[in-house]
Structure 1
Amino acid sequence: MELRQLEYFVAVAEEQNFTRAAERVHISQSGVSAQIRRLEQELGAELFDRSGRTATLTVAGKAALEHARTALAATGALAQAVGEVSDLIRGRLTVGMVVGCTVTPLFDALADFHRAHPGVEIALLEDNSDRLVQAVRAGSLDLALIGSAATTPDGLEALTIVSERLVAAVPPGHPLAGADRVTLRDLGSHPLICMPPGTGLRTVFDRACAAQGLHPAIALEAGASDAMADLAARGLGVAVLSASMAESYRDRLTARTIDDVEIPALLCLVWRDARGPAVRELLLRCRRAFAAPPPVGGGVAPGGGGA
């Protein structure tokens, strides 16, 4: 008994026609018929009643069908299991990360994965969030750490790492430093320092402004929070940052939550639903790494809140 005979048997049973079954398994009708005859000879019973216009299962055929399906399913599972092991022995994993941030838990997860599966080649690429999302959708990236605006990108699965409000960061002595309340309209009176378009923080900010019909002047753009903080500290504008970013510069900047921007800025891992074993293994390690308390000086460093 051969697996291909069981495959042809199931095809004929489901199609109820030898011609359609032959088209389904991509061989000639005579080839299907010959293999079914050999299977019947080996089993000692006819599996189909061929007297009518359709191929109808006999009592013996009905008894055999589920066993044939089970055997084929077991063979498929075996092939998948071996394939997954092979992927984790000599595969490739391509990971994307938002520009200008140091995300220690992600690096820890990559190192843990590499120790467990040294045969898998790891590539790490930086880009802005919009392009990273496009690359994950296209399949050129397996997994990406992105900044996003409150929602998971369509068509992708996500694991949220950070969710926080936007703040205005200014040096001591700035008019906003002593304000009890800061709104988007308040920011319109000052030059602004923002992340570039296509980044999570900028998307949150632009959406909030558009909802109020505001068009604030963006004086300066920088892809890293360090650069934004340096520019703001020198009095060149108000830096629009996430709360955790601004906390890193509290020695030289005062942060005020922007009250009327309620959309949170997210930092999240995104991947496609149809993912391979290497991605599943890395996700498991990422969940552990991000759930663990950060060491002193570790965690999500400046730039990690919404690039």
Structure 2
Amino acid sequence: MVELGHFTRTAERLHMTQSGVSQHVRKLEEQLDTQLLVREGKQFSLTDAGQTLYQQGGGILQALQQLQQAVRQDPPFAGVVRVTSPGSMGLKLYADLLDLQQQHPQLVLDYRFTSNSGVEQAIAQLDSDIGLMTRQPTLSEVHSHKVGQESLLLVTPVQSPSLTWASLTQLGFIDHPDGAHHASLLLGANYPEFEYSEPLSTRGFSNQISQILEPVSRGLGFTVLPAYAVDAFTRPELIKVHALSVPVSEPIYLCYRRKSALPQRVLSVIDVIKTLL
């Protein structure tokens, strides 16, 4: 309109009537309580206020258009993706997810290692986009579905002569935050003595998932760990992994906030995680 400086030509370009164009301008002037145009028949020019509105309003309209485009954008490999999981799964997934980030430099991976309850709380409190748990969540805000399973393994020093209950008792247990739970699942399924014997003597404890097998490798005891943690140990020649007669696995659940609209970048990471698991 401003470029044309003519009501009739403006109306033709906008596919409106001339009176309709004039009416819109008058309503805008009433709203702003100032004159915007100097009318000269069917022609017009801008007042100082009109020139200010034209210049600054054009910038605002352009910014709104850019904002609209930015809001609509949902790139599959750009932006921050926040993931939480127990340590064992983190050892399995973290390096491969970093490979994905290297392939897509605009993707930013924020990976936190925590317990099952920590994963659940992080998702419920909107501190994490997705999480992995070895049990189903109990909080109503968290949705989950099973995406895999992870074997529990009995690990002893490489020189351990036998797997009798007496030899394990003598060797002693290297505990960790999930040690009692994992031992109950695997040992309880394979050793009747586990239910009624004296508790296993604890020969050590570590809360660092990558360090739990260090005392085992030095002959200080045995432990029960998820397979991904065992696979990540850097000196496998110093430990011995035993296949027991009754295998035991933990389910793996992918979790996210219920009723959330996951952006494409999060869905892309979920696809990779499902492939890896």
TM-score band, normalised by shorter chain: 0.5 to 0.7
Unaligned ranges ≥5, structure 2: 1-67
Larger Rg: 2
1:161 touches 1:267 (CA, 8 Å); kept in 2? yes
Q: How far apart are 1:186 and its partner, in Å?
A: 6.0
Q: C-alpha deviations, 1:260-290, integer Å up to 9, x for none?
A: 5x44134553223323232x53233432465
The 5 Å alignment of 1:126-137 reads 126-137=113-124
Relative distance call for 1:241 and 1:87 in structure 2 (3 A) is same
Q: How far apart are 1:207 and its partner, in Å?
A: 4.7
Q: C-alpha deviations, 1:143-180, integer Å up to 9, x for none?
A: 1244x1xx4334431453542232233222x233xx4x
Task: Output the amino acid matched with 2:98.
Answer: F
Q: C-alpha deviations, 1:157-215, integer Å up to 9, x for none?
A: 1453542232233222x233xx4xx66x7634431113214xxx653334556786354
213, 231, 235: which one aligns with 2:195:
213
Corresponding residue of 2:128: 141
How many Å separate the matches in 2 of 1:217 and 1:252? 22
1:167 touches 1:243 (CA, 8 Å); kept in 2? no
Corresponding residue of 1:33: none
1:97 touches 1:125 (CA, 8 Å); kept in 2? yes
Unaligned ranges ≥5, structure 1: 1-80, 293-299, 301-307
Corresponding residue of 1:241: 225
Question: Counterpart of 2:150 in 1: which secondary structure?
Answer: strand
Identity of aligned residues (%): 14
The 5 Å alignment of 1:1-307 reads 85=72, 93-99=81-87, 101-102=90-91, 103=93, 104-110=95-101, 115=105, 118=106, 122-146=109-133, 148=134, 151-154=135-138, 155-172=142-159, 174-176=160-162, 179=163, 187-197=168-178, 203-207=181-185, 213=195, 215-247=199-231, 248=233, 249-260=235-246, 262-278=247-263, 280-288=264-272, 290-291=274-275
Relative distance call for 1:134 and 1:265 in structure 2 (3 A) is same
TM-score between the two structures when normalised by the length of structure 1: 0.49
Q: How many residues align?
A: 195
